[in-house]
Amino acid sequence: MLYQIIEGTVSAGGNVILSHINFEIRGNEKIAVVGSNGAGKTTLLKLIAGELELDRDDKRQNSGINAARKLTTGYLKQQASEENERTVEEEIFSSCSFSDDFSQERFEYEQEYDRLFTGFGFLKSDKKKKISEFSGGEQTKIALIRHLLLKPDILLLDEPTNHLDIQTVQWLEEYLSGYKKAVVMVSHDRFFLDQTVSVIYELSGKTLTRYTGSYTQFRAEKRKRIRLQTKAYEMQQEEKKRLNDLVERFKHKPNKAAFARSKRKAAERLVPVEKPVEDEVHLFVEPLEPAILGSKWVFEAEHLKIGYEKPLAELSLRIRRGQKIGILGANGAGKSTLLKTAAGLIPGLTGEYSLGNHITIGYFDQQSSQLLSEKSVADHFHDLFPALTEKEVRSILGAYLFGGKEASKRVDVLSGGEKARLVLAELLQSRPNFLILDEPTNHMDIQAKETLESAFSAFTGTILFVSHDRYFLDRVAESILIFEDQSVFYYPFGYAHYLERKRRGSKEGIAAQMRVEEQALIAGIRAVPKAERHRLKEISSEEAYVDWKMGPVTERLMKAGELVEELTYACEKLLKDWQESQEIWSAMEWSDASAYEELKRQQEEAWEKWTALCLEWYDETLNMQL
């Protein structure tokens, strides 16, 4: 055990911030601390850094902080360096312990310094600049470089991805993955956490709960624990009620008095199961369907140039009903311009584009959420949808985290993120069939983001959106449009798949391959004899291409997918049967635990095989066209 807090309590100003927490760092673990704003995450970092001390509690034995040895810590705070008049070089080398300029250690230190400095997007000439010449975000980068060079035993990071662009964040992810010391971080970037950490501590109700795995695994495990505890709690309440009813029924009958006493004792012997705290995220389990289905092809563009006075990009694409497409690209590449063009807010410069028949649009950008109203949230929403009852209004708003007192707040006093969430709730309730969204989750906390991720996943219409939140992008988008060098290319899989492809080859390579594939697809369709072309009208060009060229690979892919579905269903059924059995609340050992573990193992193997076949399918399409 490298570091350990046992039954630790921290108070400030007479208020308890952390209460009897248990926390540990094992070896070089990469740990994230998550929780709502104000829960005490930064307080925990300050405690580990030695800036705060635990409250004294003489009544508790063995409480306190233990460490394997004298440890060094480096703490990156959300603030700029105080040594503003130093140059970057002076700041970095002030912490260097290798005084001999020609030692091997000094040489390696300088090499690492160069790698980190350029990795964070600086020019080598920037080393001679004073720190005061850099922006606040750049000063935070310089502070992070200094901490990484010192390589402390425990590196503490408070929102390390703030002020970093996506390329720099990805570079930092790879660097931290290979970092040989322990890291404890606080971050709202869930994708960053998925790529870097293996342990999650959730801070809730002033206490810590440890979970093993990535952020996504933590969320799944937490939901599972809540579900199981809820089931156990409900079953125990039913059992207590049954026993108490028997007591009430027979306690006044002389010949049943002993029976009634035994039931009272049985009820008293039940080990209490705590009522679980409800998850702050609402999950939409029912589909959110558009009011009108709309045509099969939602939006079509042929050599469309988008922009204002000058074109920013040219694209040709067709968006099919039900697709959920995320957009990637540098700032100024034309992402928002495409959304405005598709929504009809600005015209295209040249080329052809059109919406399908009966397409109804729900458009959102940052200006959409600038609501001004003295009405309460509930009254404002009810005025927009007068056909709803008050109960229905409250239920719908509750699904978007405006429950209870939140629904009674005035719209004017809501934060920017809350106003955006309210507008998006209005859009989804109006049931369009084509959502066009520009940064829909800006300024939202994690609970709000995950609620909207669930809503957009449940939405059965079409979505075209821009987001810098990579986790949101990965969870919602089923395919990607990538803006690059004044052109746009379509990637047929999700964001995580795109990153995997990107790691296996350069970004330029992907773009070139996709363009070649697109040209070959068009050429292939045109090569079909005229007598057979009528068949292509029955299916899309994409489907025709797959059937014509990709039959064998597709068949193996479909079989692998069916196996994953079968094993997933078997796992869920076995787990559900256990949850509905007597074993779960009577503390009996699960008789089918080994069978469940074996099914999970088979499911994971099948999933890996299916993923590998997806990559093979994609490789095969490229190989055929090159």
CATH of the domain at 99: 3.40.50.300
Residue 163 to residue 165: CA distance in whole angstroms: 7
Quick one: pLDDT at residue 336? Answer: 94
In a domain, 430, yes or no: yes
Helix-helix angle 104-119:136-150, to 10 degrees: 150
183 and 260 in a single domain? The answer is no
168 and 136 in a single domain? The answer is yes
Residue range 493-511: mean pLDDT, rounded: 71
CB atoms inside a 10 Å sphere around CB 603: 20
Domain end (from 458, 473, 499): 499
Domain end (from 219, 236, 261): 219
Tens of pLDDT, residues 393-420: 999 999 999 998 999 999 999 988 899 9
Q: What percent of the chain has pLDDT over 90?
A: 45
Tell how strand 199-204 and strand 207-212 pair up. antiparallel
309 and 209 in a single domain? The answer is no
Q: What percent of the chain has pLDDT over 70?
A: 86
Helix-helix angle 507-526:593-625, to 10 degrees: 70
In a domain, 7, yes or no: yes
Q: In what order do the strands lie in the sheet with 3-12?
A: 15-25, 3-12, 64-67
214 and 247 in a single domain? The answer is no
Q: What is the DSSP string of 204-222?
A: ETTEEEEEES-HHHHHHHH
List Cβ neighbours of 36 (8 Å cut-off, separation of 6 or more).
204, 280, 445, 447
329 and 453 in a single domain? The answer is yes
Residue 135 to residue 411: CA distance in whole angstroms: 34
In a domain, 506, yes or no: no
453 and 579 in a single domain? The answer is no
212 and 232 in a single domain? The answer is no
Quick one: pLDDT at residue 462? Answer: 96
Distance, CA of 290 to chain centre: 25
Q: Which pTM was predicted? A: 0.74
335 and 429 in a single domain? The answer is yes
110 and 179 in a single domain? The answer is yes
Which residue carries 């809820």 as its tokens?
230
In a domain, 107, yes or no: yes
For 166, 199, 473, the CA distances from 191, given in Å and listed in that order, are 11, 14, 10
In a domain, 554, yes or no: yes
Quick one: pLDDT at residue 353? Answer: 93
In a domain, 215, yes or no: yes
- Assign 625 a pLDDT band (cuts: 50, 70, 90): very low
- Assign 32 a pLDDT band (cuts: 50, 70, 90): very high
Domain end (from 434, 466, 499): 499
Structure-model confidence comparison of residues 520 and 339, the more confident one: 339
In a domain, 200, yes or no: yes
Q: Name residue 25's beta-bridge partners.
A: 3
In a domain, 322, yes or no: yes
Residue range 586-603: mean pLDDT, rounded: 74
For 206, 304, 548, 553, 554, the CA distances from 523, given in Å and listed in that order, are 63, 20, 13, 21, 21
Tens of pLDDT, residues 329-371: 888 889 999 999 999 999 999 999 999 999 999 999 988 888 8
Residue 420 to residue 440: CA distance in whole angstroms: 7
480 and 557 in a single domain? The answer is no
Domain residues for 165?
3-219
456 and 593 in a single domain? The answer is no
469 and 481 in a single domain? The answer is yes
Number of domains in the chain: 4
Q: Of 115, 57, 52, 126, nearest to 88 (Cα)?
A: 126
